[in-house]
Amino acid sequence: MKIGMNELVVILLIVVILFGPTQIPKLTKMFGKSIKGFKEGIGSEEENDNNKDNTNE
């Protein structure tokens, strides 16, 4: 099931109607920070796993 251009336009219009054009930049900034924090958390988790593997050898 693919999402076409028409569906994306409808979703975008619904988001603009719900949140308003002034709130969208705030939402995208918040979403970007959340993704960045998630990636940093994953990276630190892998780093900790690597450190544990090195100390066990």
Tens-digit pLDDT string for the chain (57 aa): 788 999 999 998 998 899 888 888 898 899 899 999 998 888 877 666 666 666 655
pTM over 0.75: no
Q: What is the pLDDT of residue 55?
A: 63
User: Around 43, how many Cα atoms within 13 Å sit in the side-chain half-sphere?
Assistant: 6
As a whole number of angstroms, the distance between CA 10 and CA 20 comes to 15
- What is the number of residues in the chain? 57
Q: What is the pLDDT of residue 43?
A: 81
CA distances from 21 to 10, 12, 25, 26, 35 (A): 15, 11, 8, 10, 22
Q: What is the pLDDT of residue 53?
A: 60
- Where helices occur in the chain by DSSP H, the ranges are 5-19, 24-56
